[in-house]
Chains A and B, each alone.
Chain A
């Protein structure tokens, strides 16, 4: 306690002696992991290697970039996994192998996603249900809805026009031979969400209500509306991830299972603070890539799936321990 005080006064007394601007350690971790992958598999350095890696990681990265909105505002969104499932199953039901329907089906899916986020936000803001329970209820409901919609046995096919986003590669690019559409989607979504979170007033308000909702409310922040907005963004990112996943995964009622926890894990690896007030979009995306890199690496080493679970669990804990340690040392809260 005393040490901390001393440290803080020192910093304020000698502003020139402040530490170097802190770089989020997730970027170093990610870089190290990518090097490790490259060492264990030189093919990774060829464009097909890393582009396919990015392509496969894109859905999780988009999901994490959306999830961070809810996390920063102080909540959780456990419903995104089921939003993915609903998107994939619902699209296959609506499309019914009809190529021409792709565009309006995608619009319908985004509308459903927005509605899901709106309901989550309204339930949390006005019914005062903790987001953990509200989105858990939504998860159970949507999974049931996906089952009902497909009568338990979804058709295993999506037309190529729909799979375009997840699967297609634009060929004949200079330098990198091909460019996956999924990667373009990731970059566009990532930049949009980055801008919204870190370059607009809205992002500042999100941080404010996550840090101290009471104080934010008293200073006139429309807490309810901002919170609803965060849930809508998260759900929409779920739909986007679902459309990409529909491109490379088959249609089944468990495509989205586990993605909600992976997305939260990714944001935590990216240094986000659970229960709000701290978090960044690029770091969350880096966190998602880190998670994907870990899986890829463990895959290369040839570890079976159960061992990968153990490693994921340990990494999750270690990431948080390190983040807490850093924060304590920096004298933050």
Chain B
């Protein structure tokens, strides 16, 4: 029964899965270009326009880069949105307009990220709580703690720190460079380190990974710490961009669900073990392109939302439909 053709088919399917994000990205770019051309808006086809499109989803990109790690180990993180708010508020309150407090503020945000990530990871590995529930609970706790202290814009970001969101280095926005560096770092980590391959093994099959001598719990906790750190970084960026910390910035942007949607559109499988950072990057760009296309075409905000929902499902269906895997 085992013929070469039978053996080859799963690989072909997997290749398809890997290339799907590139297809989707190409399609999105083409639709964008066609829309711009047909409306005679050629000024939206310049490199500057491309940068401004990318610049629109820096926070989503950072969050999604971290979410990729969580989903790769077959986990998920729903607490990122409120963590983003908490990090933004914490940083901006500590800074409070003082340039000298920038470093302590950044450190405090990062510490918060490490603490939340560690707690998430320990809940999931040691107490065996379903990741969805663990991070949802964590999300409620963070939101509650934050809302009992801060109900509106708090603190002030000194102009030096606003460089993060508004500064430019040789014509490129600084924040975009940070995001690119983050993506490259994530790629190096996933592709070339033992930790990276451990992530794929643990996500693929936790029991097998454990049997192979990988300390699976540590890998999952580390993935969650990375995820939370990225969210904390996104919070810093948003604080810098709004010049103050807003306790609802994360939930308003729906960064929890959006980052998951982006990662999945990028071809990372929710059941873990397959996918990667480049797919996520493609997913983020696809998302900002979709937004830009709607803006070009002048579609109203509500219809935009409706189409967005349909597009998320359609994009995932685009390659999921071929898989013979059972989904739930």
- B261 x A148 contact (CB < 8 A): no
- A147 x B305 contact (CB < 8 A): yes
B264 CB contacts on chain A under 8 angstroms? 130, 133
Complex CA gap A306/B257 in Å reads 22
Complex CA gap A129/B304 in Å reads 22
- B133 x A147 contact (CB < 8 A): no
Q: Which of A213, A276, A320 contacts B133 (CB 8 A)?
A: A320
CB-CB nearest in chain A for B311: A137
Complex CA gap A265/B128 in Å reads 17
Q: Does B7 contact A (CB under 8 A)?
A: no
- B323 x A128 contact (CB < 8 A): yes
Complex CA gap A213/B324 in Å reads 12
B123 CB contacts on chain A under 8 angstroms? 317, 321
A76 CB contacts on chain B under 8 angstroms? 132
Q: Does A139 contact B (CB under 8 A)?
A: yes
Q: Which of B130, B137, B305 contacts A143 (CB 8 A)?
A: B305
Q: How far is the CB of B255 from chain A (nearest CB, A)?
A: 13
Complex CA gap A152/B326 in Å reads 39
Interface residues on B, range: 35 or more
B302 CB contacts on chain A under 8 angstroms? 144-145, 147-148, 151-152
A147 CB contacts on chain B under 8 angstroms? 301-302, 305
Complex CA gap A210/B309 in Å reads 26
Q: Does B67 contact A (CB under 8 A)?
A: no
Q: Does A233 contact B (CB under 8 A)?
A: no
- A313 x B139 contact (CB < 8 A): yes
A279-317 contacts to B, CB under 8 A, are 304-314, 316-317
- B328 x A75 contact (CB < 8 A): yes
- B317 x A123 contact (CB < 8 A): yes
Q: Tell me whether chain A's interface is mostly helix, strand or loop, or mixed.
A: helix
Number of interface residues, chain A, beta carbon within 8 A:
57
- B328 x A276 contact (CB < 8 A): yes
A118-170 contacts to B, CB under 8 A, are 123-124, 126-134, 136-145, 147-148, 151-152
Complex CA gap A320/B145 in Å reads 22
Complex CA gap A141/B326 in Å reads 25
Complex CA gap A74/B325 in Å reads 14
- B127 x A310 contact (CB < 8 A): no
Q: Which of A131, A213, A316 contacts B140 (CB 8 A)?
A: A316
Interface string of B283-318 (1 = CB under 8 A from A): 000000000000000000111111111101100110
CB-CB nearest in chain B for A311: B144
Contacts A132-B270, A140-B308; A304 near B326 (Cβ below 8 A) = no
Contacts A136-B257, A305-B147; A129 near B136 (Cβ below 8 A) = no
CB-CB nearest in chain A for B147: A306
Q: Does B4 contact A (CB under 8 A)?
A: no
Complex CA gap A132/B305 in Å reads 18
Q: Does B138 contact A (CB under 8 A)?
A: yes
Complex CA gap A305/B134 in Å reads 21
B220-246 contacts to A, CB under 8 A, are none
- A132 x B140 contact (CB < 8 A): no
A183-211 contacts to B, CB under 8 A, are 210
Q: Does B39 contact A (CB under 8 A)?
A: no
Q: How far is the CB of B284 from chain A (nearest CB, A)?
A: 16
CB-CB nearest in chain B for A214: B326
CB-CB nearest in chain A for B140: A313
B144 CB contacts on chain A under 8 angstroms? 306-313
Q: Which of A130, A140, A328 contacts B316 (CB 8 A)?
A: A130
Q: List 11 A-B contacts (CB under 8 A).
A: A124-B327, A129-B316, A133-B312, A138-B313, A144-B302, A210-B328, A304-B148, A306-B143, A306-B145, A309-B141, A316-B140
Complex A-B, nearest 7 residue pairs according to Cβ-Cβ distance, in ascending order? A313-B140, A144-B305, A141-B309, A309-B144, A140-B309, A310-B144, A74-B328
- Please report A residues at the B interface, Cβ cutoff 8 Å: 73-76, 123-124, 126-134, 136-145, 147-148, 151-152, 210, 213-214, 217, 223, 261, 265, 268, 274-276, 304-314, 316-317, 320-321, 324, 328
| A-B contact sample (11 more), CB < 8 A, given A145-B302, A152-B302 | A123-B317, A131-B327, A137-B261, A140-B308, A268-B130, A312-B140, A313-B143, A314-B137, A316-B136, A317-B127, A328-B128
